[in-house]
Amino acid sequence: MKKFIAIWLVLVGIVILPAMAADTKKKEPVQHLTDEQIYEQLKKFALVFETARENFVEEADEKKMLEAAMNGMLMELDPHSSYLNADDLKDFDDKSSGSFGGIGIQITSDKGAVKVISPIDDTPAYRAGIKAGDYITHIDGEQVFDLTLNQAVKKMKGKPGTKVKLTVISEGREPRNIALTRDIIKVKSIKFEAKGDDKKIGYIRISDFGAKTAKDLKEAITALEKKKVMGYVLDVRNNPGGYLTAAIDVSDAFLDSGEIVSTRGRGKDEIDRSMAKPGDLTKGKPIVVLINHGSASASEIVAGALQDNKRALIMGSQSFGKGSVQQQKPFGDGTAIHLTIARYYTPSGKSIQGEGITPDVEVLQSKVEVIEKKKDIFSEASFKNALDKEKGKKDKDKDDDEDYSKLTDEEKEARDYQLQRGLDMVRAMAKMEGKDESSSLNKDEKKESK
């Protein structure tokens, strides 16, 4: 299978998504141009470029103008297709290798404002208490409304050890200034431990899907199996995705058979199916997968695969809904484009594009963290030009947890409502299976006594 990459455009520790708008207009049928009409449009483009370069009030930067034109052309297709110049491509490769510079925050543009998707685990932004749904209004005292998203990124990135001050607004709270010290962000995609008073529930946190995620997952499961855990909680909340191949390998680790995902391109015959290989590393033990609105792309592939194959119970809130596949096409000069080439579908044939994965058990987060919203204006469906999009609705819940960032890790875990319910569910599922075995044994014993 081709190594397609489901990516987020990364610029030095900050994940960027294009500006989004609530666009509910029905798409008109594509009217293709003739070769002659395309040639005329290209001549007009050249005329616009020359006129702007010669008459703009200041000296024009031709390279930036042309790069912006190429990027604009690709962004018109959908929110995830983009042009990467040499610097952008290097930053993406750094992110893919699991180490990059920045403050560790994933953002998008929301009607001219900078909105936080989620902080990356164990980064300056995470430790400062910045949360999903927060808005950044000022960077070092300068309003972001006067900046493009790329300009905002450049102001936030910098040499490790230097500081940047952000003005952050959370719903229902007064603006607050947060000083962050830039750092080298090392993404460790897998964390695991045995949880519960008896340390019999395997907890595995996947923060992103990188090149080493599947290998690290297998090592985590091996270690937890040695502790004879009764079941697993797989946490992919606020995980924006990563490599499609990593999502397939992660799903395969929990499956003995069945389809994991299919990708379908422009043509009717362009269908590629990925199937699970024999060998469930967890030996069929109960699994609960935690998702929320920050779970996207590769995270949704895993949740959908385990849900449709009846292998895991999905808990949390509706996922993000990014169901498209991007492929990197390099040009050999240090630049490349990322182009959406397919949609992916869960084993049951459902496209999650603009919809997301619906949990089997909806568990919204408690007020200690950002209150979850059943629907939100921020979703894949709300992006301009998003494939098969539909408008979301904004909830009025508020986050009144003002001291969450001051809590210890143990206190945060104790107040993580979704995690606690997930642990409870694994324990209940394991006990139910144990009761079934006990009942069967008693019946057999009674038959023998007769």
Residues 4 and 15: their CA atoms lie apart, in Å, by 19
Tokens read off for 393? 């609705």
Residue 99 Cα distances to 73, 183, 186, angstroms: 30, 10, 4
Q: Is 308 a catalytic residue?
A: yes
The Cα 213–Cα 189 span in angstroms is 6
Q: Could you count the other beta carbons within 10 Å of the beta carbon of residue 409?
A: 7
Residue 258 burial (CB count, 10 A)? 16
Is 297 an active-site residue? yes
Gap between the Cα atoms of 396 and 384, Å rounded: 23
How far does CA 362 lie from the centroid of its chain?
19
Q: Is 259 within 8 Å of 307 (Cβ atoms)?
A: no
Selected catalytic residue, list 207, 297, 317, 324: 297
**Do 113 and 137 form a contact (C-beta atoms < 8 A)?**
yes
Q: Give every CB contact of residue 146 below 8 A, 6+ residues apart in sequence.
A: none
Q: What are phi and psi of 440, to 5 degrees?
A: -65, -40
81 counts as catalytic: no
Amino acid at 422: G
| Residue 378 CB coordination number (10 Å) | 23
In angstroms, the CA 153 to CA 351 distance is: 32
Decide: 386 and 392 in contact? Cβ < 8 Å. no
Q: How far apart are CA 7 and CA 273, in angstroms?
A: 20
- CA distances to 119, 124, 180 from 130, rounded to whole Å, are 7, 9, 11
Which entry of 183, 308, 399, 416 is annotated as an active-site residue? Answer: 308
Tell me, what amino acid is at 197? D
Q: Which residue of the set 157, 195, 322, 373 is catalytic?
A: 322
Catalytic residues: 297, 308, 322
